Structure formats: structure tokens, C-alpha cells
Structure 1
Amino acid sequence: NEAIELCEKCYRSLPFNNIYCVRCALPLADEDNKNTLCGRCIQKLPEYDYAHSVFRYEEDVIGLIHQLKFRDKITYARSFGELLLTAIAPDDDIRSARPDCLLPVPLHPSRLRQRGFNQSIEIARVISKKYAIPIECNAVIRQRRTVSQTGLNAQQRQKNIRGAFAMVKPLQGKHALIIDDVITTGSTVNELSRLLKKNNVERVGVLSIARAPIK
């Protein structure tokens, strides 16, 4: 099986998301902003309680994720899962307050048939195996096919994704960790988190490969 093979030099050259908002994982430019909230979270907190993104969505990471999603490089998802594991610090919520379940962002059935796999599920499998956390693939469904979020601004993304998900299995009182490949504006994971909180999920986190900076 083909996987992402990186030498130490290439691995260290990847755009790690080392300085970020402590709530939404938005990349921040200034070292002085470390361990602070970004401007958007100061104005309005997201529906989820915490987020971790290993990389900034730029340079080589964009190419690798596009290979995964659009060139059928399913084994890349497992490699990204391994990279996520290496980036989880001992004091992160994922270890210190272990989630009850992993919740991969669901694809609409038509898109799943087209792609052949859900990359978020494949990433979740690696984390599930490491930490023995069950994956909830059927607790939430994508009930409405949305147009691609690519090219939409933040307001358009929010409108596009609104009401796209439906809860079909109760997770009341649980700590759920959403797994996604990329957080761009955060509209998708925020809408999913809103639904979970509405259905009495106690705590919601987000774990993604990459987080896009504000342009």
C-alpha cells in the first residue's frame, strides 16, 4: 500500500500549526498571541468546546490533502492519522479528558458513492485503534447534499451547510470528538457541533489535519 513517506527534513519543513487560537485552532501570526483567543472567538465563541489542527492549510499540506480526496489516495488518510497521533500532547483534551466517541464528519451518500470512501472515517480509524475510542459513523447523517464549499465565502458557507445534518442516534451526555480533514472557515464543524449540543451532547471537540488561516 502506498503511504506518505517523509524524511526527517521534509517532515520538519511542513507548516505545523504551532501558534493558534486556544478555542478554534485558527493559526495566529504572532508568538505573543500564543495561548490566547483569536478576534473571532472573542466576538463569538464557536459551538464546539475545543479544537486541534496539526498543520496550517498551505503549501505541501494542500497538495497532500488534495491527493487524498481527489486522487483516491486512501492510504494517505491513515498516514495523516499517524501524524495526528504524533501531534497530540499529553495534556491535550484527547488524552486528559478522553472522548467517549469519535464522530467523523459524514458525507452525503451520493458523494460517498462518488469518492468511494470517507477520508474522515479513515483518519478516525487510526485514532480509534490507538486510544480504543469507538467511532460513531451512523449517529449523524448528512441529510441534504450541499454544493462544494470551495470558493464560497464564510457567509455563503454558513448558509450552504445550515440544516445539512440530522441526528439519528442519541449521544446525550457524551464527549464527542469530531474528525475532519480541513477546517476552512469552520462552518461545517460548527453546524455539526450546534446539532450535537442541541441534542444534549455534553462536550464537543474537533480534531483536523489542517486549519486554514483567515485571508
Structure 2
Amino acid sequence: MKIILYEWLQNIQSAWLAPRCPVCAAPIDMAAGLCRGCRAELPVLVAQCMHCAIPLPETAASRVCAECARRPRFDHAFAAFHYRQPVAWMIGGLKYHQHLAHARVLGNLLAEQMAAHVAEPPDLLAPVPLHPAAFRRRGFNQAERIAARLAQRLHWPLDRNAFARLRDTPHQSTLDAAQRAANVRDAFVARRDLTGRHVAIVDDVMTTTRTASALARAARTAGASTVHVYCVARA
């Protein structure tokens, strides 16, 4: 009910009040999403590993990190931004403070960056799923909201229910690296036969790649031939 009321109030605000930049509250055009000043401050991730999106020096001779040179984590990965302000603030506002309008802005920003750097459309976009108990607590899935906007902007197919989360795991941000791996091990299962399909996982932030890797394993177990990962920010 709280989510429905929030969205209703957002619609009223958009209809009767001048749209504002979600970061600095400056007046903006509705389609812009952010004001020019905040757009200029976006921490665009220019150089990144093509298999895990970890930031690399812009002068790096290779676009593959040392770890992925030994064993690529995904067929391809792309992150639009570093996990820095103002992107980190918008993600936090969406995830922890139910600022649902941020999902549209973040989805648009990710779509803009991907349109310039990712040419091949997948067979389906699959947001990282929440466990039903976590969904009830939060009222929405931030990855699904971002993926829905991304799919709409790029005209790519979205499957909101391609995967299920089997355990109500603690937030990855509360755990160390070893705990994160154990936390999501065998935590996901595919709900579809993905034989021969190109699956693209969508999330808000990727930090250690543990969650995305566990989801990729579930995709490959279901027969996926190619797994990409797209996220708004890379920590």
C-alpha cells in the first residue's frame, strides 16, 4: 500500500509541479532525468574489464583483468558508472528509501551508456531476483525496476521471472568476501529452459561478482549458452 501511495504522489507531482533533478532539485525537462550539472558529475566508467566490469586504468593495454585472463567470470559484463556520487546516492535512495523515481533515471542512464557500448541484444534480460520474503519487506525489486526501464528504452525482451531466489539471504553488503560467496551459493534456480539462449543479468551494483556469478551458474545449469551481466555501477 505504501508503494502504491508513493507512486500515486509521484504522478501527481509530475502532473502539477515542475519536474526536479532527483539529486539537486534544480528544475529540469521531464525527459532529461538529471540537470546538466549533475549529468556532468556522473562517474562514467570508461575503462573496465570486458568479463567482470572491474575498473581498469585508462592506459591499460588489455581490457581483461588479471583474474579474468585466467578464468573469465562472464562472457561479457558492462557497468555504466563507478559506484560513486551521485550514482551511489540514487541507488541508495531507491533501494533503502523507496525513491522509486530513481529507478527510471538509473534505467535511462544505463540504457544510454549501453546503447553506445553494447551492440548485441540478448534473448532476454533477467533482473537479479529477491526472495519472496525480502520482496514483501521492501515492496519492490530495485533490479527489476531498473531492468524494466532498460528493456523499454532498448526494446529488448524482459523476463521478470526467469530466475527464483531459493533462500532469504542476508544483504551481501553486510558480509565479507568469503561470507558473500557462501551466502549466495546455490541460492538461485532458473524457472525456464534456457537451452542455447543468451541471457543478460541486470543488477543495480556489482561489488564482488558473487551474486551475479551464482545467478550465471543457475543460467548455465538451465542450458544458457551465453551469460552477460549489466549493472548501473561497479564497486
Same fold (TM > 0.5): yes
Name the amino acid aligned to 2:92.
H
The answer (yes or no) to whether the contact 1:26–1:211 under 8 Å persists in 2 is: yes
Deviations 1:143-193 (A, max 9, x none): 111111113222211111001111222121111111100001000001100
Report the Cα distance in structure 1 between the residues aligned to 2:179 and 2:60, rounded to whole angstroms: 29
Indicate the percent of aligned positions where both proteins have the same amino acid: 37
Report the Cα distance in structure 2 between the residues aligned to 1:131 and 1:14, rounded to whole angstroms: 21
RMSD over aligned Cα atoms: 1.7
Matched, 1:83 2:106: no
Matched, 1:70 2:96: yes
Report the Cα distance in structure 1 between the residues aligned to 2:219 and 2:145, rounded to whole angstroms: 22
Against the structure 1 CA distance between its residues 177 and 119, is the aligned structure 2 distance closer, same or farther, given a 3 Å change threshold? same
Name the amino acid aligned to 2:60.
N
Matched, 1:129 2:152: yes
Report the Cα distance in structure 2 between the residues aligned to 1:126 and 1:89, rounded to whole angstroms: 13
Match of 1:15 among 43, 67, 74: 43
TM-score computed with the length of structure 1 as normaliser = 0.90
Question: Shift in Å at residue 109 of structure 1?
Answer: 0.4
User: 1:44: which partner in 2?
Assistant: 71
Name the amino acid aligned to 1:183.
M
Name the amino acid aligned to 2:35.
C
Question: Shift in Å at residue 132 of structure 1?
Answer: 2.8
Question: Shift in Å at residue 78 of structure 1?
Answer: 1.0
Matched, 1:171 2:197: no
Structure 2 gap ranges (5+): 1-9, 14-20, 23-32
TM-score computed with the length of structure 2 as normaliser = 0.82
User: 2:27: which partner in 1?
Assistant: none
The answer (yes or no) to whether the contact 1:54–1:84 under 8 Å persists in 2 is: yes
Deviations 1:43-77 (A, max 9, x none): 3321x211111111123222211100011011111
Structure with more relative contact order (C-alpha pairs < 8 Å, separation 6 or more): 1
SS at structure 2 position matched to 1:53 = strand
User: 1:117: which partner in 2?
Assistant: 140
SS at structure 1 position matched to 2:51 = coil
Matched, 1:33 2:67: no
Against the structure 1 CA distance between its residues 67 and 90, is the aligned structure 2 distance closer, same or farther, given a 3 Å change threshold? closer
The answer (yes or no) to whether the contact 2:126–2:159 under 8 Å persists in 1 is: yes
Larger Rg: 2
SS at structure 2 position matched to 1:194 = helix
The answer (yes or no) to whether the contact 1:100–1:134 under 8 Å persists in 2 is: yes
Report the Cα distance in structure 2 between the residues aligned to 1:208 and 1:134, rounded to whole angstroms: 17
Name the amino acid aligned to 2:107.
G
Report the Cα distance in structure 2 between the residues aligned to 1:151 and 1:117, rounded to whole angstroms: 20
Question: Shift in Å at residue 7 of structure 1?
Answer: 1.9
